Amino acid sequence: MFAAAALALLVTLTLALIRAALGPTVFDRAQAANSIGTVAMLLLAVLGFLTGRPEFLDLAIVYGLLNVIGTIAVLKYFRKGDLGDPGDEEEPTA
């Protein structure tokens, strides 16, 4: 049963990779990259269960959190052109 789930996740991962390569806009590609990260997280959890290593679930959770933060950073960069205040400007003195 879990082997079938792992196979289905691999097929989904392949489709998401195709979408990431052929997406018409940057945002479509970013969404596909986020989907790849989510499917990879699920695949890591399933493979950890299949091999009897429950610590893989912890790794999958950390990977999922990093995936969300990375996707937000990439989208902010494409929308605003930078990731925040570079700190080069002098602060006003009183």
Domain locations in the chain? 2-80
pTM of the model: 0.72
Could you list the pLDDT tens digit for every one of the 94 residues in the chain? 878 888 898 898 898 888 888 878 888 888 888 998 999 999 899 889 889 998 999 999 999 999 999 988 888 888 888 777 666 666 666 6
Distance of CA 7 to the CA centre of its chain: 20
- Hey, is 47 helix, strand or coil? helix
